[in-house]
Every structure is written in C-alpha cells, then in structure tokens.
C-alpha cells in the first residue's frame, strides 16, 4: 500500500439537487424566480439612479436599460437549473427586491455555491437580506447535506468580502487573472464554510436574526463574529 498521504474517507453519496421550492423565514420569503417577478424587480432596480446602478458594479450583468431588457434577462435566468435562482420578497414590504442563487452545484463532491446575489437598494443591509442568504445556506447544508459551501467574488468587491467574513466563511485564496467580466479583467477571491464549521455559523446567524438581538431603533446588539465566538 502506498505510504503517500491521502485524504480521509468520506460519505460519497451524491447530494440531492436543489428543488424549485418556496422558502419562508421570519423576515423574508424566497420564491423560485419567474418572469412574473420582472416588473417588481425593475422597480426595485431604480435604473438611472447612480447609487442604485452601483449595485450592479460587480455583477456579470446589469444594469438594464429598459424594463423589457430586464424582463428578457429574468425570463432566461429563471429557466436555468445551475444557477438556480430565487426572488427575494421581504415580509415587511411584500415586494420582490432582489434575487440570489445556488450555483456551481456538484452533487458528487457535495459542494455548492451561494452566488449571483443582487439586492435592490431598499433591501441592502437589512435583516431580510441576511435571512435570504441564511435560508439558502441552510437548505444546502442541513436539508441537502452539502459538505462544502462556497462564496466567491471579485477581489475588488469589498462589500462582498465583508459579507463573507461576517457570515463566517473562511478565506481560501485568490484566482489571479481569472475572468473577463464586462470587458475588464477580474481576479476572484474564494471563501468556504465546510461541514464541521457550519453548525457554529448557522447558530450565530440564527442568534443574530432573533428579534431579541435588536434594539428599539432596529440596530443589532451583537454582531455575528461576537455571536460565533460565544458558541
């Protein structure tokens, strides 16, 4: 038998593919993306507002010049199985104001990525935004049994990198000269949460989302890093 080091034996059962199902939380509902969401998403995008248009800076698409253009994109995006997209409907407003996906789905490797995250301006930095991400991570890890949860982003995308750190993802490294996006060179930073790390990350997210963690003005009393450290 070879004396070369090898990895541990793991469960090789392929994980299930995600299904197009509605997911409900305390602050948000996730609905499988459909072309019927396009009108709400167009309004949420506030195209022409410079601050709103900035939400597309690091996406591979957008902003869209017309409602028709966004509608065509949404119709196509909603038809793919990888990435598989959900529209985000905050309970507080009842209006779809973003989307996110599970993508790079590898059932045989038990690896899956949370990506293509676009939040309209009204949903950024809200409890609904955090819960939307949590619901898909929980679906992947707890319900479907994926071992590796992936986050990757443009290496220049500071808000996305902060979000990965906040949620408990571990930085893995940078793919240099990785992609060309919108005619520009992109380097990509990679992050992950693996199976033995997930329970602490999950419980910290749940604790952060609990209404008792928010003061009268809506400000969180404890951050996720503090909550993870206490677990």
Spans of all domains in the chain: 23-230
Residue identified by tokens 């990965």 is 164
User: What pLDDT, on the 0 to 100 scale, is given for residue 51?
Assistant: 87
In angstroms, the CA 153 to CA 136 distance is 17
- Which two structure tokens, joined as six digits, stand for 146? 């994926």
Q: Which of 29, 152, 134 has its CA nearest to residue 86?
A: 29
The predicted-structure confidence for 28-49, as pLDDT tens digits, reads as follows 999 999 999 999 999 999 999 9
Q: Which percentage of the chain shows pLDDT scores above 90? A: 98
Q: Are 86 and 33 in contact (CB under 8 A)?
A: yes
Q: How confident is the model at residue 3 (pLDDT cuts 50, 70, 90)?
A: confident
In angstroms, the CA 152 to CA 23 distance is 23
Q: Which of 21, 24, 144 has its CA nearest to residue 85?
A: 21
Q: Which of 170, 163, 224, 160 has its CA nearest to residue 193?
A: 170
User: What pLDDT, on the 0 to 100 scale, is given for residue 187?
Assistant: 98
Residues 16-32: what's their mean pLDDT? 98
The predicted-structure confidence for 85-101, as pLDDT tens digits, reads as follows 999 999 999 999 999 99
Q: How confident is the model at residue 1 (pLDDT cuts 50, 70, 90)?
A: low
Element (H, E) at 82: none
> What's the distance, Cα to Cα, between the start and end of the chain in Å?
42
Tell me the C-alpha to C-alpha distance, in Å, between residue 124 and each of 25, 99, 129. 17, 12, 6
The predicted-structure confidence for 162-209, as pLDDT tens digits, reads as follows 999 999 999 999 999 999 999 999 999 999 999 999 999 999 999 999
As a whole number, the mean pLDDT across the chain is: 97
Residue 171 per-residue DSSP state: E
- Which two structure tokens, joined as six digits, stand for 65? 């010049």
In angstroms, the CA 104 to CA 179 distance is 16
Q: Which fold has domain 23-230?
A: Aminopeptidase (3.40.630)
Give me the half-sphere count of Cα atoms (radius 13 Å) on the Cβ side of residue 10. 16
The predicted-structure confidence for 60-90, as pLDDT tens digits, reads as follows 999 999 999 999 999 999 999 999 999 999 9
- Kindly report the backbone phi and psi dihedral angles of residue 170, in degrees, each rounded to the nearest multiple of 5, phi listed first: -100, 130
Cis status of the peptide bond prior to 63, with omega within 30 of 0: yes
Residue 16 per-residue DSSP state: P
């Amino acid at each position: 038998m070879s004396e070369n080091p090898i990895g541990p034996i793991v469960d090789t059962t392929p994980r299930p593919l995600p299904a197009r199902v509605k997911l409900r939380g305390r602050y948000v509902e996730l609905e499988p993306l459909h072309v019927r969401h396009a009108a709400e998403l167009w309004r949420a995008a506030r195209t022409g507002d410079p601050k709103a248009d900035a939400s597309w800076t690091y996406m591979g698409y957008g902003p869209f010049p017309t409602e028709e253009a966004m509608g065509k994109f949404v119709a196509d995006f909603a038809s793919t199985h990888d990435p598989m997209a959900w529209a985000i409907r905050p309970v507080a407003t009842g209006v779809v104001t973003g989307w996110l996906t599970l993508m790079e789905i590898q059932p045989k490797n038990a690896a899956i990525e949370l990506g293509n995250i676009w939040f309209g301006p009204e949903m950024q930095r809200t409890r609904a935004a955090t819960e939307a991400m949590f619901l898909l991570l929980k679906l992947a890890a707890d319900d479907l049994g994926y071992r590796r949860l992936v986050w990757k982003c443009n290496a220049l995308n500071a808000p996305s990198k902060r979000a990965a750190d906040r949620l408990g993802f571990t930085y893995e490294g940078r793919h240099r000269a990785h992609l060309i996006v919108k005619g520009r060179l992109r380097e990509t930073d990679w992050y992950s949460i693996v199976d033995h790390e997930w329970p602490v990350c999950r419980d910290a997210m749940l604790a952060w989302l609990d209404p008792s963690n928010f003061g009268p003005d809506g400000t969180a009393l404890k951050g996720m890093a503090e909550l993870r450290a206490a677990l």
